[in-house]
Amino acid sequence: MLVELVKAGRYLGQSVRLMVGLPEYDTYVSHREATHPGEPMMSYEEFFRERQEARYGGAGKRGGCC
């Protein structure tokens, strides 16, 4: 019972972060380690910047709501 509750809490937290646009760096790191071992990995700051640009558009791009 407790294990299911903890798991549900993790899924809920992940869902909330995705809804508000916070990137999942831990998920990215796990994926890179599992599927691309030994290859370079972005720092948190690089990852966050890349996700923001992908969502809202980079310099010179018109994106977002305004």
Residue 15, pLDDT score: 79
3-state secondary structure the chain: CHHHHHHHHHHHHHHHHHHCCCCCHHHHHHHHHHHCCCCCCCCHHHHHHHHHHHHHCCCCCCCCCC
What residues does each domain of the chain span?
1-57
Lowest average pLDDT, out of 11-20, 27-36, 47-56, goes to 11-20
* Half-sphere exposure for 60 (CA within 13 Å, toward CB): 0
Q: Kindly state the average pLDDT of the residues 33-57.
A: 90
Query: Tokens in use for 48?
Result: 């966050």
**pTM of the complete model beyond 0.85:** no
Give the model's confidence band at 62: pLDDT under 50 very low, under 70 low, under 90 confident, else very high: low
Q: What is the CA radius of gyration of the chain?
A: 15
